[in-house]
Amino acid sequence: MLQIPCPHCGARNQEEFTYERTPDSVVRISDAPDAAMTTLYARANPRGEEQEIWVHLCGQWLQLTRDRLTHAIRDVVPL
């Protein structure tokens, strides 16, 4: 059960957040179809740090820099 720092509410339990996706998996309306499908389905799976988009139940979207091996959260940015 991670403790995730919500930019709006402070450190809260993981169960209050929902994981969305990594920022490089966000499909933009303006993306061409082939690029959009590659973005959606071909995911990087880094053994180490990555950026992650989460949303808190307060409605705040946030982007974490989190290590997938140690689970350590290095950075949080409000979106």
Partner 1 sequence: MTRAERGRIAFSFDGQTMQGAAGDTLAAALIANGVSLVARSFKLHRRRGIMGSGVEEPSALVTVGSGAHVEPNVRATDVFLYPGLVATSQNAWPSLALDIGAVNSLAAALIPAGFYYKTFFGPPSRWMLYERFIRRAAGLGRPPVLPDPDRYGHRSAFCDCLVVGGGPAGLRAAWDAVQAGQRVILVELDARAGGSLLAETVTIDGMPGAEWAAAMVERIRAGGGRVLLRTTAIAHWDDNFVQAVERRREPGEPGEGDAQVLWKLRAGRVVFASGGIERPLVFVNNDLPGVMLARAARELVLRHGVVPGQRAVIATSHDHAYRTAFALADAGVEVVAILDTRADPAGPVVAAARARFAVHADARVLRAVARGGRVGAVEALIGGTRMRLSADLLAMSGGETPVLHLHRQAGGALDYDAARGAFAPGAARQAHETHGAAAGIHALAAILPGATIADPLGTVTPPVAGPVWRGEVPGKAFVDFQNDVTTDDLALAQREGYVSVEHTKRYTTLGMATDQGKTGAMVALAQIADLRGLPLPEAGLTTFRPPYTPVTMGAFAGPARGEHAGPIRRLPLAAAHDAHHALWVPAGAWMRPRAYLQPGESLGAASLREARMVRASVGVVDVSSLAKFEIAGPDALKVVETVCATPVAKLAVGRGRYTLMLREDGMVMDDGTLWRLAEDRWLITSSTGGAARMARHLSYAMDILLSHPRAAVIEVSEHWAGLAVAGPRAVAVLAELTGEPVPAHMGLIDAVIAGVPVRLLAASYSGERAFEVHVAADAAAAVFAALVAAAQGAGGGLYGLDAMDHLRVEKGHVVIGAEADGRTTPADLGLGGMLRKAGGYIGWQGLTRPALANPAGRRQLVGLTATTGQPIPEGAMLVGQPGDDPAGHVTTSAPRVAGEGQIALGLLADGAGRHGETLLAWSPTRKQTVPVMVGAPLFYDAEGARYRD
Quote the least distance from Cβ 61 to partner 1, whole Å: 5
In which element (H, E) is residue 38 found?
helix 33-41
Q: How far apart (Å, rounded) are the C-alpha atoms in residues 19 and 68?
A: 13
Pick one of 10, 29, 42, 45: the residue that binds partner 1 (CB under 8 A): 29
Coil vs helix vs strand at 9:
coil
Q: Indicate whether 79 belongs to the interface with partner 1 (CB under 8 A).
A: yes
Token pair recorded at residue 54: 């989460």
Residues in touch with partner 1 (CB under 8 A): 1-3, 13-14, 18, 20, 26-29, 31-33, 36-37, 40, 53, 55, 59, 61, 70-71, 79
